[in-house]
Structure 1
């Protein structure tokens, strides 16, 4: 019986160094931490900021529209909305035209929090883009292509 590993260690190093999924996950976690820190004074996480920004539309979006945009299942979206609703920053209401459908809306207080946080988000975002070795638009296009 051999004690040789089924997968040689150099293969582990190759995966570590080349895996797009691993690199995307690491980058996403690092970016989320930076934005979480920047948005913390407003009582927001990066996820909450993105969710609230997704609600900033001329007409209140449906749960399905927001879930698709943020690539969340409805259960996860519902859980993410609860703390924002408790703070009075968003409302979830039945669509008057179709009671089965829920519409999501920022409240005035939610809009104010989002407006206060936006300059901080912009400043950090600009600093991150300026520090990239590659063109930010090329990076966005590549990430968008991978997310399809």
Structure 2
């Protein structure tokens, strides 16, 4: 193992070619964009995704939400706490497994999601319009392949 740092040219190459870095940068830029449009509702892009993952016929378990969002359970639980405090979601003991929890939207949460969804639709349409023709489908397909889906 060498104590000599990599040449700066390697750093520039990684900066310009790293798919992980480019994906992280794009994700941050998209999150900021959606955070801005959701701000009047007091909602973040992450919270919108979380609320949307709860919009199911039956309340999901925390594990099911974690799987949907590709997050670990402890992160989902931490992100649910402020939404519970604000009355947007409710968490109950899972009747099928008393060790687990199920999470559901409250009436306030359903109303908030109903207000946020048209904002998402319009912003998402604008974002996709900025991509090359077919870009949205191509990007989603490529990302799903990387996820193994």
TM-score range, shorter chain: over 0.9
- TM alignment of 1:43-122, pairs within 5 A: 43-122=42-121
| Residue in 1 that maps onto 2:146 | 146
Q: Any stretches of 5+ residues in structure 1 without a counterpart?
A: none
CA displacement at 1:71 relative to structure 2? 1.2
Cα deviations by residue, 1:58-92 (Å, 9 ceiling, x for unpaired): 01101110011111111111110001000101011
Once residues 114 and 15 of structure 1 are traced to their aligned partners in structure 2, the CA distance between those partners, rounded to angstroms, is: 39
Residue aligned with 1:57, SS: coil
Q: How many pairs align? A: 145
Cα deviations by residue, 1:34-69 (Å, 9 ceiling, x for unpaired): 000000111100000000000000011011100111
Provide the aligned C-alpha RMSD in A.
1.4
CA displacement at 1:97 relative to structure 2? 2.8
| Residue in 2 that maps onto 1:6 | 5
Once residues 20 and 124 of structure 1 are traced to their aligned partners in structure 2, the CA distance between those partners, rounded to angstroms, is: 25
Q: Any stretches of 5+ residues in structure 2 without a counterpart?
A: none
CA displacement at 1:146 relative to structure 2? 1.6
State whether structure 2 residue 14 is matched by structure 1 residue 15.
Answer: yes
Once residues 23 and 36 of structure 2 are traced to their aligned partners in structure 1, the CA distance between those partners, rounded to angstroms, is: 20
Once residues 72 and 16 of structure 1 are traced to their aligned partners in structure 2, the CA distance between those partners, rounded to angstroms, is: 26
Once residues 95 and 23 of structure 1 are traced to their aligned partners in structure 2, the CA distance between those partners, rounded to angstroms, is: 39
Runs of 4+ in 1 over 6 A off after TM superposition: none
CA displacement at 1:7 relative to structure 2? 1.2
Once residues 26 and 89 of structure 2 are traced to their aligned partners in structure 1, the CA distance between those partners, rounded to angstroms, is: 29
Once residues 97 and 23 of structure 1 are traced to their aligned partners in structure 2, the CA distance between those partners, rounded to angstroms, is: 42
Please report the TM-score for the alignment, with normalisation by the length of structure 1. 0.94
